[in-house]
Amino acid sequence: MTVPPPEASSSARRAPRDSYDVAVVGGGIAGMGAALAAAKRGESVVLFERTPKARGASVRNFGMIWPVGQPAGRARSLALRSRAIWKELAQAGDFDCTPCGSLFAAYREDEAAVMREFLSGSAAEGLDAEWLSPEETLKRSPRANPEGLIGGLFSAAECGVHPPSAIAGVRAALEQQYGVTFREGTPVVAVDSGRVTIAGGETIAAQRIIVAGGAEAASLFPAEHAAEAMVKCKLQMLETAPLEGGGEAGAEPFGPHLAGGLTLRHYKSFAACPSQPALAARVAAEAPELDRFGVHVMAAETPWGSLILGDSHEYGDDVSPFDSAEIDALILRELRPMLSLPSWEIARRWHGVYLKHPTELFLAKPVAEGVTLFNGFGGNGMTLALGAAETLFEPPAVASTTGDEPTDEIPIPSVAPRSDAPRSESMTSAPQTALTGFPR
């Protein structure tokens, strides 16, 4: 059941209560997606975030809503549903969600072969995608480098947001339009069936609890997280100084999100293309350092005309707090043949950390009566989390069987329904420690 949002509230924040229908732990896009899905069903919702605002992976990314990267079937259906929700939230939260599309520029024949194979079969289902000549590619993407350009794969399905602005806007929409209570700067130290305990010992009752704590969520239900063997991934990104005229009225737009041949190695939507393994082998032989650091390159424009560039993928629990100059140099080295820019001045550098599930599209795991872990999206959180969150509130049979899933698709785990009422018995499943490190 979905109910319309209540009338917008005043700007004053709601006073916390001691009982809610649903409690969400984590203020990134996965947690806010769960809060939205619950609020749309008419549930009372409280969301806990340990920092004053989300500072993790949800604000440290390209801002790409990226259906083209998801395999056709269940995954892409969730991506397209998420895109629709992003558009709704952009209107409610007064932030931009730009239908820019995506463009993969081909500079090698094997790259062009993979792109054409992608278009010729079912892999491009639902994307409104097409092959472009060099002239058409440059018309859509004026900053693409014309030298050596063979053509491009364009998809109209992708949207772009500015992550910090979008996350703030989603938060505003949830609070003002859907009545979600936010308790920020509030570390959760334990979750039991029917109860959340925060630092200082206060407990809040909830019939259903969603734990969406991002990269450092394992301090709650550590054994259950460990059993899933999810791995941390660190990515490095850069942002240019604003390009001349960028973001100004009447200025030439950057165009679609721009990617290249290296990205065809990264996303599973291209894995079934017959020429993809040979392309990946060629890259591994020519530039093994790119595989060592998981580098593939993309660019997205910000509202003020700078470009977000990236990225890398270093997997493992030993995440260094220090960034690698070598990785930044590799990213820029691979982007220069693909982008024609008036200046390569870099204004900002950062890294993000997320959790990736080794086999599932994401983790939606019941761990106690009425308690679900919701995590493990890898780099697909902005693309999948809003649509995936709706499955948390479907009956298990519906959540696990809706839509046709091809045999090579990653299945979505079924989710236990919410319990009927809070329980008074303690079912302690976490140590009394707060979430630490990067939030969402």
- CATH 3.50.50.60 in the chain is located at 17-101+157-228+359-434
DSSP state of 370: T
Segment (H or E) for 310 = strand 307-310
pLDDT surpasses 80 at 205: yes
Kindly give the pairing relationship between strand 257-259 and strand 102-106.
Answer: parallel
CA distances from 113 to 126, 132, 136, 153, 408 (A): 21, 13, 18, 11, 22
pLDDT surpasses 80 at 425: no
What mean pLDDT comes out for the span 316-326? 93
What mean pLDDT comes out for the span 56-60? 94
How high is the pLDDT of residue 175?
Answer: 97
Instruction: Give the pair of three-digit tokens for residue 141.
Output: 């993407």
Segment (H or E) for 153 = strand 151-155
User: For 155-180, how does the pLDDT look when each residue is reduced to its tens digit (9 = 90+)?
Assistant: 999 999 999 999 999 999 999 999 99
How high is the pLDDT of residue 190?
Answer: 96
- CATH 3.30.9.10 in the chain is located at 108-156+231-356
Q: In percent, how much of the chain has pLDDT > 70?
A: 85
Instruction: Give the Cα-Cα-Cα angle 16, 18, 23 (nearest 5 degrees).
Output: 80
- Tokens 């732990």: give the residue: 25
Kindly give the pairing relationship between strand 257-259 and strand 298-301.
Answer: antiparallel
Instruction: Give the pair of three-digit tokens for residue 78.
Output: 């969730």
| 311: preceding bond cis by omega (within 30 degrees) | yes
Segment (H or E) for 280 = helix 276-286
First CA to last CA across the chain, in angstroms? 28
Fold of 108-156+231-356: D-Amino Acid Oxidase; Chain A, domain 2 (3.30.9)
pLDDT surpasses 70 at 183: yes
- Tell me how far apart the alpha carbons of residues 376 and 213 are, in angstroms, rounded to a whole number: 10
- Tell me how far apart the alpha carbons of residues 48 and 196 are, in angstroms, rounded to a whole number: 10
145: Cβ contacts below 8 Å, ≥ 6 apart: 105, 107, 336, 337, 338, 339, 340
What mean pLDDT comes out for the span 10-38? 87
Q: Whole-prediction pTM value?
A: 0.86
Look at 90-99, 228-237, 328-337, 410-419 and tell me which has the smallest mean pLDDT: 410-419
Maximum Cα interatomic distance, the chain, rounded to a whole number of Å: 68
How high is the pLDDT of residue 397?
Answer: 53
- Tokens 């509130």: give the residue: 393
Please choose, from the candidates 16, 26, 9, the residue with its C-alpha nearest in 3D space to the C-alpha of residue 389.
Answer: 26
pLDDT surpasses 60 at 414: no
CA distances from 173 to 86, 165, 242, 423 (A): 11, 12, 29, 31
pLDDT surpasses 90 at 47: yes
- Tell me how far apart the alpha carbons of residues 74 and 82 are, in angstroms, rounded to a whole number: 12
User: For 213-230, how does the pLDDT look when each residue is reduced to its tens digit (9 = 90+)?
Assistant: 888 888 899 999 999 999
How high is the pLDDT of residue 364?
Answer: 97
- Tell me how far apart the alpha carbons of residues 49 and 170 are, in angstroms, rounded to a whole number: 14
Please choose, from the candidates 191, 229, 238, 235, the residue with its C-alpha nearest in 3D space to the C-alpha of residue 210.
Answer: 191
User: Exposed, middle or buried by CB within 10 Å (0-12, 13-18, 19+), for 209?
Assistant: buried
Q: CATH code for 17-101+157-228+359-434?
A: 3.50.50.60
How high is the pLDDT of residue 248?
Answer: 62
Instruction: Check if the beta carbon of residue 295 is closer than 8 Å to that of residue 211.
Output: no
